[in-house]
Amino acid sequence: MSPRYGKPAREIILELLKKEYRPMKVREIVEKTGVNYNTVRGRLQELKKRGLVEAKPDGWICLK
């Protein structure tokens, strides 16, 4: 869980991608959420395996 928001990092990341509705680089997600860089990378890979996000050349997007 993220101490800043009190919810799991994957939820924070997914909510941000849904809200922004545009591709976002990992560094930008880190800056907007305060979640650790390596945590963001790991959670994005988990979300990708679940079919919830996809990596595009210009960043990560939410699929659902």
Max Cα–Cα distance, the chain, nearest Å: 31
Residue 46, domain member (yes or no): yes
Global pTM? 0.89
Mean pLDDT of the chain: 93
Q: What is the three-class DSSP state of 62?
A: strand
Residue 42, domain member (yes or no): yes
Residue 15, domain member (yes or no): yes
pLDDT single digits (tens) 25-38: 999 999 999 999 99
Helices (H), the chain: 9-20, 26-33, 37-49
Tell me the residue range of the domain where 45 lies.
9-62
Residue 4, domain member (yes or no): no
If one counts every other C-beta atom within 10 angstroms of the C-beta of residue 14, the result is 19
pLDDT single digits (tens) 4-13: 558 899 999 9
Q: Any idea what the CATH number is for the domain that residue 28 is in?
A: 1.10.10.10
When divided into structural domains, the chain yields a total of 1
What are the backbone dihedrals phi and psi of residue 36, each rounded to the nearest 5 degrees, phi first?
-55, 140
Residue 3, domain member (yes or no): no
The answer to whether residues 54 and 63 touch, using CB atoms and an 8 Å cutoff, is yes
